[in-house]
Amino acid sequence: MNWIETLWMKLVNKTAVSVTAVEVEEETTAAELLTEILTESGVGDDYVSEYVLPLFEEWYTGEVDRESVSAALAGFKKEHPGIGRNISKQQSAARLK
C-alpha cells in the first residue's frame, strides 16, 4: 500500500499546478503623496481634494516621491497664499487638539 501512496504523491507533485502570488506595484501620484502629507498634519481630506489638489496638480512638475512633494509644498503655499493660510490654520488647529 505504501508504494501506491508514494507513486500517487510523485504523480501529483509532477502534475500539480502551484499558484504563485505576484505583487503588483502601484505607482503613487504626487496628488496622493500630498494628500497623505497634509492629512497627517491635520488638514481636512475634503479641503485637500476640493481646493488644494486641483491647483497642485497643475502647478507641480517635480519628482514623485514623498521628500520632493513635501519640499515643494512651501513653494506652493507661497504662490497660493489663500490656500497656504487655510492649510496653516487647519494644521494649527490640529496641533491644539
Per-residue tens of pLDDT for the chain, all 97 residues: 677 777 777 777 766 666 666 666 678 899 999 999 999 999 999 999 999 999 999 999 999 999 999 999 999 999 999 999 999 999 999 888 7
From the number of C-beta atoms within 10 Å of its C-beta (0-12, 13-18, 19+), residue 44 rates as middle
Q: What is the predicted pLDDT for the residue at 7?
A: 73
Q: What is the predicted pLDDT for the residue at 62?
A: 93
Q: What is the predicted pLDDT for the residue at 16?
A: 63
Q: What is the predicted pLDDT for the residue at 10?
A: 77
